[in-house]
Structures are given as C-alpha cells and as structure tokens.
Amino acid sequence: MKKELTLIFLGSLFLFSFAYAEEINLALDATDWDIVPSYIIYHDGGHLSDWQFQGGLWGPECEDISNINDGDINNCFGTVIQDTVNQYLNFSINLTFPSPVSSLSQINFEYDQYNDNNIPIIKYKAEIFNGTWHNISCVSTSQGPYSSTGYAALISRINTSCFGDFKNIEKIKLNFYSTGYVLSSEFYTGTFAVKVKELRAFGIKEVIPSCVPDCSNIECGEDKNGCGVICSPGCDNGYNCNSGICEPISASCLSENDIIMKLFSPYNSFGALWNDPIYNYEICYSTIFGKIYSLSSPHVCSDNKVLGLSSTTNAYSEIPSLSNYDTEVCYGDLDCEKDVSSGDGCTNGGKVVARLSADTNAYSSDASFPAPVKICCTSENSVTDDLYWANTNDNQITKADVGDTVKLIYLNPSLPEDSEVIFEIFEIDNSDEDEIKTVSLSNEISTFAEGGIAIASWAISKNDLARTSDFDNFTFRVSGLQSDNLKISNKANDSKMVLRIISPDCGNYFDAGDEVTIEVEAFDEDDVMNGSLKIFQDENKLFDFKIDNGNLIQNKNFNVAGNYQVIAEGINSRGKRARAISNVMVINKTKNDVYVAACIDSPTDYTYIDSNVVEFDARSTTGINFTLPTNYIVIPKEKLKFNWMFSDDIMRIYSENGNNTKAYFFNKTFASAGNNSATLEVEIIK
C-alpha cells in the first residue's frame, strides 16, 4: 500500500508560497464510454452516386448530369481556363450525425475524379456545428494522378488535430474548391468531374446509462446519482438537509463574547456552554437586546446566572432559581428569572433569552419556540450607540489600514425584516465633512436588515482616501445616528490569513462507523475569506461545505474503511490563498490489513519564505497494521519508504527508508524561484 501527496510552490524570486495536496484521479471509468468504430454518413439518405461537379463547356448530351454514367463522361467536351476554374469547382456537402458526437477523431471520404488533361488542384476544408457553426483551421489538398482513362478513385481524410476540443458535434460541412492546376504553367483545357461516393466519421460518443438511484446513507432529499428520486421527505424541526444529511440549523453570533449559550438545534434541544466545540446554534446577546455588550469577560459567573445545565454539553436545563445542576450559564450583567406569562413579553420588562419545556430536567429552545417556561432577563451595560465599526472577524475596531475590508454594523431590534438600510461614510474635521461613500441598493452594495441587524462591508481603497485630506475621523451614519470614529492609515498592513484544520490531525486513525469531529479555523481580521471544506473517501468526494471568516465544526460518520482526506481551502478579498489538508485512516475491524496516511507537516500551505532553502517535515506520516481481534499496531518509520520528487529535478525520485530520519525531516535547496512542486509517496515495506 502506498499514499501520495503533492506540495506546490507558487512564488517569484526567492519568495515561495507553499501548498500540498494529495493527487486525486477523477478520470471517468472506461465503462462509461463506447468507442464507435465508424459512423457511415449518407448524403440525403443515400450514397452520393451522382456527379457532384462538372467542369468545362458541356455539349447538349451532358446538360442533364443526373443521368450521366461513368462511361458517358467521355461524350462531354469543352474547355475551362484557369481564371474560371473556381466558378465550376465550388460545392459543399452537409453531413448530419445520427446523434451528437462527444469528440471527433477523423473524417474519411472517397470520391472519383475525372480529367482528360492538366489536373486541377482540389482543396477542401470543413465547418462543424455544435449549436453554432465553427470553421476549423485545417485545409487539405488532393490532386488526382494522370491516367490513360482520366479516372482516379481517391480517399482523403481530415484528422484529429483539425477538430481541437470541440464537443457535442451535430453536423459537418465539407467545402470543395480549387486553386489552380498541378502543372501551374499549363491551362486546363479539357473536361473534369468529381463524384463523392461515401463518407465515414470516426469518433467517440458518450453513452448515458439509465439512471439508477442510490439512496444509501441518505437521510433527506434526492438520491446520490441525481435521478430525481426523493429518498426521504425531509428533516425534523430544527434541522436542515445538507448533502443528504439532516444537520441542526446553525446560528452565529458576532463574536465569542456575544454568545450567551449554545443549543444543538433551535427547538426542544439539549444545551451547552458558550464555548462548546460541537453545538452550532448560538443564542446571541446582540440579537436579543439589539446592542453589543460593552464590558469584558461576560462569561464569568457573578450573580448573572441565566439557567442551569446538567453538564457542560448535551445537557438538560433548569430555571436560574434552582440549584439541582452544578453547571451554570452566566452572562454579563444579566438578571434573569422564570416567566410563565402568555405571549412573547416579560413581566420584568426584559427580553426572552430562552424557553424551557419545564422548570428542571428540561429541553431548551430559542425565544421563538412556544415552550411554556420563559427565561426573561434584563441588562443595563450595553453600548450606548447602535452603530459601530468591526473587522471581518466581527470584533469592534477603532483603527484600520488602506486595503482592509471593514464592516459597518447597525443594531436596531425594531428594524423591519428585509428592509433596506443606507450607510453614509464621511471623514469629519471640525465642521468640515468629506463625503467618502454611500452604501445602498443603488450604490455598490444592497444591505438589508435581518434579525434587527444590518451589516455592510467597505473595502478601503486609495481612491476612497483621496476624497479627504486626513484620515483620523471616519464615521458612518444610518437613519440620523452616527458611529464612533475610525482612524485609517494610508499605509497597507495586511494581517496574516489563517486557515487550519484543528481536527482531525493528519495521521489519525478511526474505526469504520466512527463519528469524527471536523473543525476548521478560518481567520483573517482585515479581509473577507471565501472557501470550502471538502471530504474525500479515497477518490470519492463525500461532502463539500462553504467556509468564511470564523470556525466551522462538522460531525461526520466515516462508515467505509480506507483513506479519508479533509481539505480546507480559501481565498481572501486580496486574492491570497490558503489551504490545509489532513489525511486519516479508517480501519476495517473485520479483517487484517495495513493502512498508511502521508502527511507533510511543513512547510505550511502558502507560507512565504525568503530563502530557496526549505525545511521539509513529514514526521506525522503514519502507518497502521491492524490484526484481529483488536490490535492497532503503529508501523515503525523504518518499515516505511519515503519517495520524494521535486520540480527542479523531475526525472529523479529521491527514495529513502524511514530508518534514516532524512527520509522525512530534511532541508531542500531549490535551484530556482517560481512555481515549484514536491511530491511525496509513502510505501509500506513488506
């Protein structure tokens, strides 16, 4: 067994950036294709038995060419001079395929040519149609031989290189014409004719098999093969369907300090503390109170109990006045109590933070679910303004740099849902105002209110700063309200983009059927990041999730034994890229087998290095020898063979057994800067 990884270098003069990825072969299986020996194409439903072209000044007996037999051509006579040859030798034949051809390799056509004097040079070129007509670049030439009878049976062809990458070809048109004579010093003074007899097209057509639905491991939605079969009607309340899996609805707060607690799903759920790594549904202070909590350390308990939990996660809840449970949810200056009044209001004048199914041993829900027990809380220490600047990680800021992307946040619980919000940005000095930008439906960004919050983004450009003479007092206004000031430096200072897989670690192993927690950290405080988290089992992509600024946690069952690859990759608003990869092994506990996961620990992906000497570390590479009944034996490094290949010496493979530490931990000096790559293949030595 062996496993291969590729490390890619992107850079300019001694500035390298690095990424590594296992090579994934996604070629179609040969059984999906049918190699068609030939399509025999007939013109107008039959062989081209008539003479398609005649040259010369014809006698009366030859005017009706449809009745001319091969022997009768000698009875036709006349003269054609060079200046008028194209007038006579200029016709086309249209070919229609029985069904569209996915690729075309060759066109063969047979034709008879008659001439009784100097031989004309016959040329032909083609057009293809796949929804529209395209001229192909090849021009072919044919010239018949001299013969005592004047007849020549010819075969010509147009080859693969002429057709390029055109797909789904429906029709071909062959255009015949002439550019003179074989003997250019002579005029054509005799008779000639052309009769196209048969055309054959050689190529490949794609055979689309009948769709067979696959509903294995599908909890919701359509089958895996896209046959349109609904495998399961849907998910329970509080869950969404994602790639065939029912997952709890997630809700994200502005920052960790904004989280009061977490639920597994919004309705009748178990609860967890604010920092739980698994639960995705967050109850947010800003969403409930329409403001940001202004004091530090809001989760420290000090007469601010919201409710009790039976444990730190996967827990039942109870009202704050009871003390059956040791774990407490605490937040800021909240003063909370049980409320069983009807409606959505609170008798203490506060806000509904959560709802419970009972006083204790209860399921928890967010404020929108009509559970009987309300947890009503009041708060005093929130920010006085409803407007503030934030970085792309949703943390409040007072400074930024040119090139940064910043957020403009407006909190107002009375904002109508989906209403448009207009942000106006100014730079103010004393009584002077420089208008910088307006963010609205008609100008750049459509910004809508959702859940009492409206957020706009501003990518600060040099053109924006050119609208003012200094950069100390940027502010924005919404509906007559004004934010605090933001100071902007006119010198760019790009913070580091971080994208890493927190779990699982590369080289980990699990049993088939285990639930694996996949956690990704995506962090870039001055740029918007967009990306994806993909999970492959051997060469099959199982899941594909969107990544943006923040953490992503997914729990997935690895049901089939083999190698799994977790790939997180992203690009920020400046065009910089990041990627992280973790390879793990999933063990089949029913048989003896060996497994290996190739890991390149460093250099990390897309890290810039100012030297051509690069340290490689592949020490996390792991092999497992599983023997029945339950023996997981780590294969020692000396039983692994490391094969490296580098782009500056692609003809050579550097092989070393793991008994030498330089097989997996060494320095490599690259010959030149630019785009480079390194490939690691790991084998188990038997």
Contact 599, 621 (CB under 8 A): yes
Task: Evaluate whether 285 touches 293 at the Cβ level (below 8 Å).
Answer: yes
Residue ranges and CATH numbers for the domains of the chain are 2-25+495-684 (2.60.40.10), 42-206 (2.60.120), 249-378 (no CATH), 387-489 (2.60.40.10)
**Which residues lie below 8 Å from residue 60, measured CB to CB, with a gap of 6+?**
none
C-alpha torsion sign, points 341, 345, 349, 353: positive
**pLDDT tens-digit map of 579-588:** 899 999 999 9
**pLDDT of 207 strictly over 60:** no
The residue type found at 226 is: G
State the Cα–Cα distance between residues 446 and 536, nearest whole angstrom: 36
In this predicted structure, what is the pLDDT of residue 637?
Answer: 94
DSSP E strand stretches across 213-326? 221-222, 230-232, 239-242, 245-248, 259-263, 271-272, 281-284, 305-309, 317-318
pLDDT at 548: 85
State the pTM of this model.
Answer: 0.52
Secondary structure class of 172 (helix, strand, coil)? strand
Predicted pLDDT of residue 508: 95
The span from the CA of 261 to the CA of 247, in Å, is 19
What is the per-residue pLDDT for 405?
Answer: 93
Mean pLDDT of 667-672: 81
* pLDDT > 90? residue 632: yes
CB 534 within 8 A of CB 546: no
- Digit-coded pLDDT (tens) for 385-440: 478 898 988 888 999 999 999 999 888 767 777 788 888 898 987 667 788 877 65
- Top mean-pLDDT range of 61-70, 226-235, 349-358, 664-673: 349-358
pLDDT, tens digit, 9 for 90 and up, residues 476-522: 988 878 888 999 999 999 888 899 999 999 999 999 999 999 999 88
Encode pLDDT of 329-359 as tens digits: 999 999 999 999 988 889 998 999 999 999 9
List pLDDT tens digits, range 87-139. 445 556 666 766 676 666 666 665 555 555 555 566 667 777 777 777 775 55
